[in-house]
Chains A and B, each alone.
Chain A
Amino acid sequence: MNFGLLFTLAARGLRRNRRRSLITIAGIAFGLGLMSLSNNIGYGSHQDMVKSAVGLMAGHIVVQHADYQDEPRAERVVANSGQIASSLAAAMPEATVLRRINLEGLLLSPLSSTAVGLRAVQPEAEAMVIDLDDRIVEGEWLKADDADAIILGQLLAERLSVGLGDKVVFMSQVGDRDVDSRLFRVRGMFRTGSPEIDGMSAIVNLEPAQELLPETDPATLVAVHLPDDRQTADQTVLARQLVPDPGLAVMAWQEAIPDIVAFVELDSAYSDAMWLVLGVIVALGVVNTVLMSVMERVREFGVMMAIGMKPRQLAAMVLMEGMVLGLIGAAIGLALGTLATWPLMHYGLDLSEMYGGESIEAGGVPLSLVLYPEIDTARLVVYPFIGVLFAVLASLYPAWKVTGLQPVQAIRHQ
């Protein structure tokens, strides 16, 4: 029997009880729409998170002391970091290669002192990679030739009671060296919205911080920031060839920040599980609709069998009805989900009132509480199949019941 006839029979069969079919389609559409919207929100926030994580790490690929990952001690540095950075930059012309130093220490002002995380950077390269330079609320971003400059988180500046131009002293003790200190002048303040970051971080140029570390031309890390995350795996292989020193570790961001990867995976798995439950509920609704419409037509099916239609053709017709329901529902659901995503992509979904803050920390990364969904194109393609698959699966039981019909009994039915 041809596909066209099956389709015609199924489509017209569904039109017979229009209201019931519409309710089922609405159920599928609503479920899928909600699912795609929530997935887009999740996807957007995960992308955001990965971006923050990559920014925090300074790049998609990072070169560190082999033991730094185990325990990030300041003296575990990459020696001759400038040379390594140049060779990476030469091999990956599209990438931004930068160096960083992370130091824990004490920041003292004339009136106060507090523990800080000092980050030493190359200002221009850094500005290309992260948006901290755009978050300056007072003063200006670092200048490469200003060795004494320091940029403070706004909250940190408040705690130390310092303003632009004031002096602060950074003190730290690296490894078994003597306690060392360095004087800086406040040139700017930034604000990210995360109290942890704004209250604890300070940024200076690379060179003055290098003076506090052992080895020649040291850096805590050399990072490669790629134009596209999809290049990460391949370029990591290349970077490993360029940096063969067993005392150094070359890692993709996924290895360097496994917490983030685990968080994203767990979060996705959790929401997928939720949607699976919803899918099953919707599918049960479809089972009910298709079963009811089958039961109403037992006599008709009997006549069809009498004139030569085979039970499996009847079953195919019932499955086709499920498929048509699924197709229409999926199409509408996807349109709804995408339509609902659209405004949120531009205006964002603001959860800050709900959580009382502008950002939260997850896996050591600041996450904005204004979520910007992104259309997850990979899944956009998959969803219609999921919708149709569930609807067809839900029609399996009614279809199986139909194959058990005996023509004589079916014709006598009612």
Chain B
Amino acid sequence: MSIVSVRNLRREYTQGAFTVHALRGVDLDIAAGEFTALMGPSGSGKTTLLNLIGGLDEPTAGEITVDGQDLSRMKAGDRSELRLRRLGFVFQSYNLIPVLSAVENTEFVLMLRGESAANRRQRAMETLAAVGLKGMEHRRPSELSGGQQQRVAVARAIAGEPALVLADEPTANLDSTTGHELIELMQRLNRERGLTFVFATHDPKVMEAARRVVRLEDGQIASDERKGS
């Protein structure tokens, strides 16, 4: 069953006199439990596609269905609710709330959902342990390394048990070893918990880890390969 279904998706940006075609008719289906890498050079439209799937942006044309819901028919408030309940996000960098500790960042989404204090704290601690940050729960982002910060971001994205995690170049600001470890972590979470991941990257090494690689070029899907597992 598809978690994400994208049909003939277009996104144009008007900049003064001319128009940038960031996406020129993309069709894509992502099944539950898949681990998909969105590859492509800078400017190929990866971020635009992820933002549209995440309901952060609205398409110029085309349809997006996420978790059975047609995004084009939803109001901004409902999309925000969908993100809160069903999606997890990891961005390139600086995406933690600097004034909150690791565990507070992790439970933030649960707080927004209005879950009880004891429940969410326990879940956040467990999730941090699962991403390998046991003992660092009460550090602020500024007291953590870049790799550790991204692990907190992953913990925050998965703590609410989302249907889909969207990660936009999560390793771009990390050195290659740390980046690889992060990808391995996401892979493990995918395997052990059945979490669905879509992540954008233009790092060829990262690509090797993915079971499915979707290649974007100039706003169009150039190839879509699945490796046997």
Interface residues of A (CB under 8 A from B): 1-2, 5, 8-9, 12-13, 15-16, 299-300, 303-310, 313, 407-408, 411
| A9 surroundings in chain B (CB, below 8 A) | 97, 99-100
Q: Is the CB of A2 within 8 A of B80?
A: no
Q: Is the CB of B99 within 8 A of A306?
A: no
Instruction: For the complex, give the distance between the alpha carbons of A307 and B166 in Å.
Output: 11
Q: Is the CB of B111 within 8 A of A1?
A: yes
Q: Is the CB of A2 within 8 A of B114?
A: yes
Q: From B31-39, B83-91, B202-210, give the one contacting chain A.
A: B83-91
User: A307 and B111 in contact (CB under 8 A), knowing A13-B99, A16-B99?
Assistant: no
| B51 surroundings in chain A (CB, below 8 A) | 408
* Interface residue B56 (Cβ < 8 Å from any Cβ of A): yes
Main secondary structure of the interface of A (DSSP, over half): helix
Residue of B nearest to A11 (CB): B99
Instruction: For the complex, give the distance between the alpha carbons of A22 and B77 in Å.
Output: 36
Q: Is the CB of A300 within 8 A of B111?
A: no
Query: Which B48-63 residues sit within 8 Å CB-CB of chain A?
Result: 51, 54, 56-57
Q: A305 to chain B: closest CB distance in Å?
A: 7
6 A–B pairs (Cβ distance < 8 Å), ordered by A: A13-B99, A16-B98, A300-B98, A306-B54, A307-B112, A308-B109
Q: Is the CB of B56 within 8 A of A307?
A: no
Q: Is the CB of A303 within 8 A of B56?
A: no
Instruction: For the complex, give the distance between the alpha carbons of A303 and B96 in Å.
Output: 8
| B81 surroundings in chain A (CB, below 8 A) | 308
Q: Is the CB of B77 within 8 A of A307?
A: no
Query: Which B74-132 residues sit within 8 Å CB-CB of chain A?
Result: 77, 80-81, 83-85, 87-89, 91, 94-100, 104, 108-109, 111-114
| B91 surroundings in chain A (CB, below 8 A) | 303, 306, 411
* Interface residue B10 (Cβ < 8 Å from any Cβ of A): no
Q: A303 to chain B: closest CB distance in Å?
A: 5
Q: Is the CB of A15 within 8 A of B80?
A: no
Instruction: For the complex, give the distance between the alpha carbons of A313 and B157 in Å.
Output: 20
Q: Is the CB of A310 within 8 A of B77?
A: yes
Interface residues of B (CB under 8 A from A): 51, 54, 56-57, 77, 80-81, 83-85, 87-89, 91, 94-100, 104, 108-109, 111-114, 156-157
| B111 surroundings in chain A (CB, below 8 A) | 1-2, 5
| B87 surroundings in chain A (CB, below 8 A) | 308
Residue of B nearest to A16 (CB): B99
Instruction: For the complex, give the distance between the alpha carbons of A411 and B112 in Å.
Output: 20
Instruction: For the complex, give the distance between the alpha carbons of A16 and B112 in Å.
Output: 22
| B157 surroundings in chain A (CB, below 8 A) | 307
Instruction: For the complex, give the distance between the alpha carbons of A305 and B109 in Å.
Output: 11
Which of A2, A13, A408 counts the most chain B CB atoms within 10 A?
Answer: A408
Instruction: For the complex, give the distance between the alpha carbons of A408 and B91 in Å.
Output: 12
Q: A305-B80, A306-B54, A309-B112 are in contact. List 6 more A-B contacts (CB 8 A).
A: A8-B100, A299-B94, A307-B83, A308-B80, A308-B81, A408-B56
Instruction: For the complex, give the distance between the alpha carbons of A2 and B111 in Å.
Output: 8
| A408 surroundings in chain B (CB, below 8 A) | 51, 56-57
| A8 surroundings in chain B (CB, below 8 A) | 100, 104
Instruction: For the complex, give the distance between the alpha carbons of A303 and B97 in Å.
Output: 8
Q: Is the CB of B97 within 8 A of A308?
A: no
Residue of B nearest to A309 (CB): B112
Q: B49 to chain A: closest CB distance in Å?
A: 12
Instruction: For the complex, give the distance between the alpha carbons of A12 and B96 in Å.
Output: 14
| A310 surroundings in chain B (CB, below 8 A) | 77, 80
| B100 surroundings in chain A (CB, below 8 A) | 8-9, 12
Q: B148 to chain A: closest CB distance in Å?
A: 17
Residue of B nearest to A308 (CB): B84
